[in-house]
Amino acid sequence: MDLLLFESVEALSMISNAVAAIIGYIGIGIMMFGCIKGVSLFLWQFFQKKNLLSDIRIELGQHLALGLEFLVGKDIIESLVEPTWDDLGKLAAIIALRTFLTVYLAKELKAVKEEAKEEMVATHT
């Protein structure tokens, strides 16, 4: 019976680690995609002599915030199987930091969107 339980925990641990790794890679991929897209939009607007910096900031910020959410999910999944107090403490610190960054990014994005809206109204009047 104990052997079966041990094997079940081991299997669950392997599956959760694999799922966590995939989710982590998705989060990193989203952030990398956002950075590449941001750089390409910046270069495009630079050569087109357009001012789209607020649009680029919004786009990049959305990708970074979404990527951070995936990384928080990865950390939570990693701590599900046999968590220790040390693991839970590290998880709490990581989640607090990433949540702070996500909230800050959301606040910054809101400000940039309002700024862009004001610029649009000013150019059309």
Q: What is the pLDDT of residue 40?
A: 94
Tally of CA atoms within 13 A in the half-sphere of 3 that contains its CB: 0
Mean pLDDT by 10 residues, the chain (125 residues): 66 89 97 96 86 83 90 87 82 86 84 79 72
Max alpha carbon distance in the chain (Å)? 77
Q: What is the pLDDT of residue 67?
A: 93
Q: What is the pLDDT of residue 33?
A: 98
How far is the C-alpha of 113 from the C-alpha of 44, rounded, in Å?
20
Indicate the pTM of the whole model.
0.74
